[in-house]
Amino acid sequence: MTELAETPSAPMPSLTTRLEIVPIVLFAAFAAAPLLAVFSGAEGYVLSLLTRVMIFGIAAMALDLILGYGALVSFGHAAFLGIGGYAVGILASHGSEDLLVQIPVALAASAAFALVTGAISLRTKGVYFIMITLAFGQMLYFLATSLATYGGDDGMTLSSRSLVAGTDILKNDFALYWACLLCLFGAYVFSRSIVASRFGRVLRGTRENAIRMEAIGYQPLRFQLAAYVLSGMMAGLAGCLLANQAEFVSPSFMTWQRSGELIFMVVLGGLGSLHGAIIGAAAFLLLEEFLPEILHGLSFFLAEGTRAHLAENWKMVFGPLLILIVLFVRGGIMGLLRRPHHG
Amino acid sequence: MTATLLFVQALNGIQFGLILFLIAAGLTLVFGVMDFINLAHGVQYMVGAYLVAAFSAWTGSFGWGLLLALPSALAFGLLVEVLVFRHLYDRDHLDQVLATFGVILFLNQGVKFVWGAAPLSVPVPELLSGSVEIASGLLYPVYRLAIIAAGLVVAALLYVLVNHTRVGMLVRAGASNASMVSALGVNIQRLFMVVFGFGAMLAGFAGAMVAPILSVEPGMGDNILILAFVVIVIGGIGSIRGAFLAALLIGLVDTVGRSFAPNLLRLFLDPAAASQTGRAIAPMLIYIFMAAVLFFRPSGLFPVKR
């Protein structure tokens, strides 16, 4: 059957407790990383890379909530990153630089966009859903490119990071790191509680068989729409953080390729486990960051010119790697972690 | 003034629509017959443009370049089918999306690797260069008229091929019910290959035709792919007729909308605000249009009967 149906809807209790190790280790690693960053000597670089990892972790987890638990392949989720980013950028350019204003506005805007586009998209099924979410994402992308007041194609550079309750604490890279970790943890706990709730069970039930859910008296569409809105809001939050991390907002936040990357992160980590999406985001971004160097290192037997050429064209390795992962690694990284327990 | 401008824009819209149709036709058949969502269809268009650029530089003539580019695009499509796509037909849509996304990454970088990152330009063939006066005082480039003519010819050929030949009959049957066609003893694998290669060639042809008027660059297929998706969703997946009409609609709405949305808004708003909002709304028009179509007809305007 399809991979979506294969993900266990109710894992065995013993398995669940054993798997809890993974998120604990994951968050412990994120908490310990700043210490390592101090010792690594390249503090700024390590912190900014890991901050990006956590931000995309939030976005990928948001997508996993509807993709892994609802089998809704949204191909326009980068749009919410853009909404969050532009909420920060546009508000800042009008003088509202406080994150305590920006985040609620970003969440409200994401929710409104998700509600409208979700209500239309969810009328369709399967591949139509993929394509219509893709098209809505493109729509917002083109809207952003034509906002001449706010930088148009080129995007806008933020004059500084957002304030928090009037203080410029986020100027400090460590503070931003901890803020992102807090958001990631909050989003994770929130998503876990959603998934474990009755709401989450209805969502999973709909994934398996919408008609049966309807027959026992639920209205699957409402649950799917609510999940879509929540997911969009979480991705919008990630967008706010991303704008602060990059100190820059541009339409490139929401290209459809970015949406594709988000899907890949979720699938790479393993569908339907939430922390899998975070691991997938980390694996994706680290691979993207280090693949040129890895290629350069691995091709030690070639001439220096060829090695540089290979490192420069790392995407020619990345693409096939992606295809191979899809073809041969079922269940993603979480699937690999899970497999020994089954044996 | 406005009437002639409208006329020119309408011609541009039809030309753009026909290019979209060439891409969407393959995409809709591949999806309709094989239930396969192919994001890499846009790069076939790009590969077509690069092939014609390379071959016409080599032979020194656009005609020969085109003649060599078409079979090469076909061969290339078949190669990718055998290497990658064939292994994805029985996977779910999510896997197909991701794997074809990988093909895009590879090929966008691949053309940079082979031809460099700088855009290539293809000269307009001498025979078709210059402009003609299509109405008093209204000049229109001959090459764009040639694209319209070529698009219409291909559409007509496709109509005959799909509706009046045996292969076309199998393709239509496959779009309605592939497993039944297979059960009746048709080699469905070979049918898939034919459809796929043909679709790749059509997209390559579209890329080759626009090469002289656009710059040939990596990633040129990425955005047009999304437009082709919009076309097949509006037209109804698997329907050539739907793709044709939807492509023309999208081409016209997009092209005419971009030049007239500011003017129309000027009726309600002051000029500065009108041109600002007009420019913001125009590129969104086709997506709003698609949303409206799907809201009322979730399976498109001309759904294939199943």
pLDDT at residue B182 is higher than 90: no
Residues in chain B with CB shorter than 8 Å from the CB of A319 are 102-107, 109
| pLDDT class of B258 with cuts at 50, 70, 90 | confident
> Which of A80-89, A196-205, A290-299 is predicted with the least confidence, judged by mean pLDDT?
A290-299
Quick one: pLDDT at residue A263?
Answer: 93
The identity of residue B164, as a single letter, is H
Give the residue-averaged pLDDT of A34-55.
86
Could you tell me the two tokens for A250? 């541009």
B83 touches chain A (CB under 8 A): no
| pLDDT class of B9 with cuts at 50, 70, 90 | confident
- Domains, chain B, in order of start with CATH, read 3-116+139-296 (1.10.3470)
Contacts of A149 (CB under 8 A, 6+ apart): B276
Q: pLDDT tens digit string along B73-114?
A: 999 999 998 888 888 888 888 888 888 988 998 998 888 888
Quick one: pLDDT at residue B188?
Answer: 81
**Cα torsion angle, A311, A316, A322, A327, sign:** negative
Does B113 contact A313 at a Cβ distance shorter than 8 Å? yes
- How far apart CA A171 and CA A142 sit, in angstroms, is 31
Does A263 contact B97 at a Cβ distance shorter than 8 Å? yes
The vertex-A87 CA angle with A191 and A142, nearest 5°, equals 100
Does A135 contact B101 at a Cβ distance shorter than 8 Å? no
Of residues B95, B282, B299, nearest to A3 (C-beta): B95
> Are residues A292 and A314 in contact, defined by beta-carbon separation less than 8 angstroms?
yes
A327 touches chain B (CB under 8 A): yes
Quick one: pLDDT at residue A237?
Answer: 95
Could you tell me the two tokens for B252? 């016209």
A142 touches chain B (CB under 8 A): yes
Quick one: pLDDT at residue A3?
Answer: 44
- Give me the residue spans of the domains in chain A: 43-254
Does A132 contact B290 at a Cβ distance shorter than 8 Å? yes
Quick one: pLDDT at residue A140?
Answer: 92
pLDDT at residue A15 is higher than 70: no
The dihedrals phi and psi of A224, each to the nearest 5 degrees, come to -65, -40
Give the residue-averaged pLDDT of B175-192.
82
SS3 breakdown of chain B: % helix, strand, coil, rounded to 5? 75, 5, 20
Adjacent-strand bridge partners of B139: B133
> Are residues B192 and B38 in contact, defined by beta-carbon separation less than 8 angstroms?
no
Residue with tokens 């290209």: A255
Could you tell me the two tokens for A40? 């690594």
Q: pLDDT tens digit string along B213-247?
A: 888 888 888 888 889 989 988 888 878 888 999 99
> Are residues B129 and B142 in contact, defined by beta-carbon separation less than 8 angstroms?
yes
- Within its chain, how far is the Cα of A295 from the centroid? 26
Residues in chain B with CB shorter than 8 Å from the CB of A288 are none
Give the residue-averaged pLDDT of A85-103.
90
> Are residues A259 and A316 in contact, defined by beta-carbon separation less than 8 angstroms?
no
Q: pLDDT tens digit string along A121-158?
A: 898 887 888 888 988 998 899 889 888 788 888 888 88
Residues in chain B with CB shorter than 8 Å from the CB of A86 are none
Q: pLDDT tens digit string along A234-273?
A: 999 999 999 999 989 999 989 988 999 999 999 988 888 8
Asked casually if ipTM beats, i.e. exceeds, 0.90, the reply is no
pLDDT at residue A1 is higher than 70: no
Of residues B109, B290, B298, nearest to A315 (C-beta): B109
Does B294 contact A124 at a Cβ distance shorter than 8 Å? yes
- How far apart CA B41 and CA B107 sit, in angstroms, is 11
Q: pLDDT tens digit string along A292-307?
A: 888 888 877 877 777 7
A6 touches chain B (CB under 8 A): no
Quick one: pLDDT at residue A339?
Answer: 62
The dihedrals phi and psi of B253, each to the nearest 5 degrees, come to -60, -45
Give the residue-averaged pLDDT of B21-50.
88
Q: What's the length of chain A?
A: 343
- How far apart CA A269 and CA A50 sit, in angstroms, is 17
Does B106 contact A136 at a Cβ distance shorter than 8 Å? no
Residue B137 exposed, middle or buried by CB count within 10 Å (0-12, 13-18, 19+) = exposed
> Are residues B147 and B208 in contact, defined by beta-carbon separation less than 8 angstroms?
no
Residue B297 CA: distances (Å) to CA of A76, B32, B153, B281: 21, 18, 30, 23
Could you tell me the two tokens for A122? 């969810």
State the number of CA atoms in the 13 A half-sphere of A331 facing the CB. 11
Does A124 contact B298 at a Cβ distance shorter than 8 Å? yes
Could you tell me the two tokens for A147? 């906002």
pLDDT at residue A229 is higher than 90: yes
Arithmetic mean of pLDDT over chain B:
86
Residue in B with minimal Cα distance to A140: B284
Indicate which of A73, A74, A263, A327 best probes the interface with B, i.e. most B CBs within 10 Å of its own CB: A327
Residues in chain B with CB shorter than 8 Å from the CB of A256 are 222, 226
Residue pairs between chains A and B whose CB atoms are closer than 8 Å = 138
Could you tell me the two tokens for A303? 């001439």
Question: Interhelix angle for A275-298 vs A315-328, to 10°?
Answer: 130
Indicate which of B98, B113, B293 best probes the interface with A, i.e. most A CBs within 10 Å of its own CB: B98
Does B99 contact A3 at a Cβ distance shorter than 8 Å? no
- How far apart CA A278 and CA B173 sit, in angstroms, is 44
